[in-house]
A and B are shown apart, each in its own frame.
Chain A
Amino acid sequence: MSPDVVEEKEEESNALVWLTGFALLAAMIAIFIYVPTERKEGLIQRIMYFHVPCAWLSFFAFFVVFICSILFLWKKDREWDIYAHASAEIGVVFCSLVLITGPIWARPVWGAWWVWDARLTSTLILWIIYVSYLMLRAQSDAGSMRARYAAVLGIVGFLNIPFIHFSVLWWRTFHPQSKVITNEGIGKGMDPSMLATLGISLCAFTLLYFLLMGERVRQEKLKDEIDRLKREKLYSS
């Protein structure tokens, strides 16, 4: 890479850092200052503005894993493997946050940390699937085998989601019904200020995903580069 290209890339990522920073700041202001406290649930309801974006981000990340896994098996290009790996890691982190913020909210509102509701159960199973995906990556040595196996698991795991969804839905459900998209149309079930806050928060988290993704991919590429240089030096000397 020529120095000019590197500089340009750095400028781009700097812009993304600033943009994400501002968006997160705006989201914080909206969540803690602007939006009114919910009448029935009280202060604890504000955790929803973190919980829902985290859930969105993790599902989006797992979808990216699925797409990148298919592209990897098709093109056999290390690039897609890196993307799938980075996205799975980010997805697991935010899925863990969903599983942590959920019980914190549920304890005062439902009176229990955990209930075996459909959405809780499916999020937990999803979390386990992608933790096992990362374990598979950790267990196998770097190279084409690891990438191929992980890609197969990335596809198989994502295709499992509809089955998990329906099976636990028919099993039982008590999760609060979705308020943003209801039968009456989009955004009718919520106060406009709350909807705006949720929107800002969603945007901020989506930007955060791309920021983290860029950083993680860059790290992984540097790692590849170091490995390559090491091998080069080892065999040339």
Chain B
Amino acid sequence: MNLFLSQIAAIVWKDFVTELKTRELFSAMFIFALLVMLIFIFSVNLSIVKASEVGPGILWVAFLFSGTLGLNRSFVLEKENGCLMGLMLVPADRTVIYFGKLISNFVFLTIMELFILPLFMIFFNIDLIEHLLPLLLVIFLGTLGFCALGTLLSSLASNLKTREIMLPILLYPLLVPIVIGVVRMTGQILAGEPLSEMMNWIGLTASFDIIYIGVSIMTIDHILEE
């Protein structure tokens, strides 16, 4: 068990060092999320539509689009110079690669989201501070589900000829349930409803996370096999 955890930690640490050295991914994700928000602000008239009604949707679209950038990078980066082959040659279980990538994708995306939230608050004039804890729980559940399925499909898409195109096409339809769930919950939280009002949605997203992490553990061996 200890070995398993330290192997995962090694992969996460490797991803962080690469990111700190290159600083390619994080800035790109952040700017892209900001741009997505701006484009949506221009496309809806905020003087007619209530900001708290369109805000949650725009926030999550920004998260998912920029998260897809991160997912695309995560395995393609390993493809260059045959690093993925090196990772697979390591005498470790294939789930280690999955969990390592899952955690680093999750942490990058969460950091990016924490940077975007204050800007969202300013642009939409919505006070997030009083609802911060339930909001963070929803962001945690949504991001985890996105990364669980996204890491699996990104490992799959990285071996295709048209990987940048195929990843969103494969990923977005499968994410529909979780997107509906988190946008609904974020809207309800911003309207001041307590978490106990939306237990069905929390159950749905949490079971989505658990089932897809489980499916990934079972199928990752068949994807990372060469």
Contacts and interface: CB of A to CB of B under 8 A. Distances in A.
Interface residues of A, number: 27
Contacts of A163: 177-178, 204, 207-208
Contacts of A166: 177, 200, 204
Interface stretch (B20-28, B116-124, B168-176): B168-176
Contacts of A125: 173, 176
A136 B170 contact: yes
Contacts, number: 76
A153 B30 CA distance: 30
Contact of B173 (A132, A155, A167): A132
Contacts of B178: 163, 167
Contacts of A157: 174
B149 interface: yes
B162 interface: yes
A167 B207 CA distance: 12
A145 B159 contact: yes
A152 B181 CA distance: 24
B222 A132 contact: no
B211 A152 contact: no
Question: Counting chain A CB atoms within 10 Å of each CB, which of B149, B169, B170, B211 scores highest?
Answer: B170
Interface of A is mostly: helix
Interface of B is mostly: helix
Interface in A145-199: 145, 148-149, 151-153, 155-157, 159-160, 163-164, 166-168, 170-171
A104 interface: no
Nearest to B219: A152
A152 B169 contact: no
Contacts of B200: 166, 170
A65 B98 CA distance: 25
B101 to A, nearest CB: 16
Given A152-B222, A156-B149, A156-B212, A167 B160 contact: no
Given A155-B215, A167-B180, A170-B201, A160 B174 contact: yes
A155 B212 CA distance: 11
Given A73-B222, A156-B212, A167-B204, A128 B173 contact: yes
Contact of A139 (B166, B208, B211, B212): B166
B225 A156 contact: no
Contacts of B159: 140, 145, 149
Given A135-B166, A139-B160, A139-B162, A129 B173 contact: yes
Contacts of A153: 156, 170
Report the 9 A-B pairs with minimum CB-CB distance, sorted nearest first.
Answer: A163-B177, A167-B177, A128-B173, A167-B180, A129-B173, A152-B219, A148-B222, A132-B169, A160-B174
Interface of A: 73, 125, 128-129, 132, 135-136, 139-140, 145, 148-149, 151-153, 155-157, 159-160, 163-164, 166-168, 170-171
Given A153-B170, A160-B174, 11 more contacts: A125-B176, A128-B173, A129-B173, A129-B174, A135-B169, A139-B160, A152-B223, A166-B204, A167-B176, A168-B180, A170-B184
